[in-house]
Amino acid sequence: MWETNWIAVLGAALAGFVIGGLWYGPLLGKAWQAESGLSDEAMKSANMGRIFGLTFVLNLVAAFILAHVMTTYQHPGLHISAMIGFGVGLGFVATSIGVNYLFARNSLKLFLIDGGYWTVVYTAMGAVFGALV
């Protein structure tokens, strides 16, 4: 049985949430909105409480599973944990998004924004686990 460091899971989920706020806000928000085809009206009419709440819950699930993956390495430290997170983000998540985006005919720019986001998030989550576990 593996033990979960819930503070690390919460910290990793929070890191993903904060990065998302910056990534899809001041850093790449307008580019993402344009590539997604979302009007200003659509953005204003969204139920942001629901979106943010469910986003945090999903980040908690992702962080919990990544915590489980990290336990198989028996406390690899900050650098290796960040590399594992990077590998998960780029190798599993971004590539999966890429396949979906190819069939949906989404733009390369949107793929780079979304795939880049998840790669950065999982790298940060890995770093949190490396620092706290």
What residue spans define the domains of the chain?
Answer: 1-27+62-133
Write out pLDDT tens, residues 15-50. 999 999 999 999 999 999 999 999 999 999 999 999
Secondary structure element (H or E) that encloses residue 45, with its range: none
Residue 50's alpha-carbon distances to 21, 73, 114, in angstroms, are 15, 35, 20
| Nearest to 67, CA basis, from 15, 128, 1, 16 | 128
Residues 65-111: tens digit of each pLDDT: 999 999 888 888 999 999 999 999 999 999 999 999 999 999 999 99
What is the pTM assigned to this prediction? Answer: 0.95
